Structure 1
Amino acid sequence: MPDATPAKLSLTSLTVFGLAYMCPSLAMVIFGVISERSDGIAPSAFLLATGAMLLSALSYAKLSRLFPVSGSAYYYAKRLLGPGCGFVVGWGVLLAYLFMPMVAWLLQSVFLNAQFPQVPTWGWLLINIGLTTAVTVSGMALTDRLNKVLTVLSVALVLLFLGYCLRYLAGQPQVGFTHAVWNEHSTLTGLTAAAAIAAYSFLGFDAVTTLAEEAEQPKRDIPRAVLLVISLGGLLFTAVAYLMQLSHPGGQFADPETATYALSIEVGGQFFADFVNLGGIVAGFASCLAVQVSASRLLYFMGREGVLPPRYFAKLQGRARTPVFNLLLIAGLGLIGIGADVSSAASLINFGAFLAFAAVNVCVIAYYRRERRRQRLSGVGFVVFPLLAIGVNLYLLSLLSTVVILAGVAWLVCGGLYLMWLTAGFSKPTPGLMEVES
């Protein structure tokens, strides 16, 4: 039965939502790739990535306190950079948020197929989309409760895996505890390259800001949740990578993509390895819930602004007041995953995400320029850190393939054409942006 009233989210709920979006077991999934690229210092790569992403998280925290609305990067840009930039940023963010649910569902289906091959991947995709959509349409209260249970369970399974790693290490010869942080094969080039890949693990921390209007105390809790998600996620990722790296010194693997499964067998046996894989599936379902909810909220906000047709996108339905049309639309787009290339779709998400991160940091600098004479603002916090974050995000963008960058630019061009049509050849104000200076 749908919820009687829309739920209001506490700091705990917001933080769990962000952690679920990032997926607590993700460090285990990509450990082999990070370890190989860094020559056996995966925890250092995750730690560096945490610091790099924390710079952008600080900017999101600042702006979410100033503008506690659900539009996130789109709204910040429209208020501080002007109508044109606001639309471009919103359109770029839309690319990431529309593809993210599809990729999450597809990855979840691949893991389920590996565990239960009797059902084909496309069958699991239909099941995943159907289950998560049924939950999210029912309302935020049910979604929040289920998300908490699944995320706590997935974190517990990660901690159990770490416990097995510790038991395994206790029975091994003397371990060099600093060898997993830096060793004779380590290079700064390898570390930064691995950190760039690890940074993708943090995509989604910004999704917390899309729930500003459903938070109990948005000005207080949204900024705290953003920083908690990055800090707790980074701590967990680094700890997982450290114990896994101690259990398997060096960066050589028979297959880096299945290194975690092989390591699970080594430290706990076949049954335990299958159990760990199941834990990844549990975490994946929580992540699917989070990404669908956040994407639907961004579409709702853009619909309310008139940038997308409000008749459909800005409509809340049922006693739980959920954007049912948006949720069903995202579910429909998820079906593209049946024939999609996960790698290409994930790269398009990265294009939209890092573009948004860079824009948010520009917004912080713009706010500093506008308000520095009226408020006492720190030049370090409002200029230096954002500039460093912009550099990080532009570097990450530059690592994407030429094809992906061209596809991202093509998406932005399509947005420009849509804006031209929306404003009758730029003869009318952009919808939702007339009040920018208010």
Structure 2
Amino acid sequence: MSDGRTGGGAANTGAAYRTRSEELELLRDLIAIDSVNPALVPGGAGESRIADAVVAWLSPRGFECRRLETTPGRPSIVAIARGTGGGRSLMLNGHLDTVSLASYDGDGLAPVVRDGRLHGRGAYDMKSGLAAMMVAAAGAHGTPHRGDVVLALVADEEHASLGTEDVLEHVVTDGAVVVEPTGLDLVTSHRGFAWATVTVHGRAAHGSRPDLGVDAIAKAGRLLTAIDDLGARLAAGTRHPLLGTGSMHAGTITGGAEPSSYPGSCTVTIERRTIPGEDHLTFERELRGILDELARTDAAFTADLAITTHRGTFEAGVASEVAAAVGASFGEVTGREPARRGEPFWTDCALLAAAGIDTIMFGVDGGGAHAADEWVDLDSLIVVTATLERTIARYVG
């Protein structure tokens, strides 16, 4: 096949095609642009240069591009290929930012192809997804279509998801595919999370005066034991068919001033990973139950609780038409059905689904996200591009 994107699957796409592919050349160009998230790495380049680059690529291909920059220096791009009318709208969502270059072994901005893989910072997470969705949307826009095709190329996914939140203030579509790497699997659910801070109060005193002091760190030890016990109960509890159980753990603990003093306070941060049916309110009830029981059994135990951050779970409906469209398109390209599974971590899928958008996640195969060697399998890049192009045509009409 001359274009490598008309079926037959990744196994039938050869190295000669890969060196000519539009998505590979675009991916090289995107990796070469520093887009390290400055919220993760002070002084990081941010998304401005790569936002300019995607606009320069998409505009001459018929996309109306709008720059959203609620946070200065942190732009997201909404690019729309208008339909003729009467069809459903579909968003392809991907993030422009990457994690640190310093943690990469070598020059993360100099992509290298080796043994059917492309190596570089962002190759897997997720500039390969950006390249696939841009090429697929441009290809689909070359044929008349009824519904609008929307590309959301967003800032800050690696930190606080400011970009997708910004996009949803301006555009909501019928369906969405988040093109994060999934190993060519169809991801239809993921866990949520919540963080809490518990400050356990003691009474500061000289270490020689136990009659005056209350050891906040020792009191926090009882809290840590209770957290561990609850984590064990969660692990043995109700299981989601794709996500397993929720979990809880203590993340950090700080307290005390020096060895010769009783600590007046001790602060523990706690993380709860949630499954559908659980949320930050579930977490708050669990922690308040622990604190109330500790106070009931120990008159000297006092503590304050604050839920500091929370993100919801995600689960596509069993009748998801986007999932059906991706599955059928993937079958045409590869001759097989995609595996359906959940992810243990949080993604922007939850934000899109909460806005009423029929959402799934589907993307490339590879490895090394946030690691010293990051790479994408180039056959999978071709499969994802082909699948997305067919999905657009099938869904928007």
TM bin (shorter chain): under 0.3
Higher normalized helix content (fraction of residues) = 1
- TM-score with structure 2 setting the length: 0.24
> Greater relative contact order: 1 or 2 (C-alpha under 8 angstroms, separation 6 or more)?
1
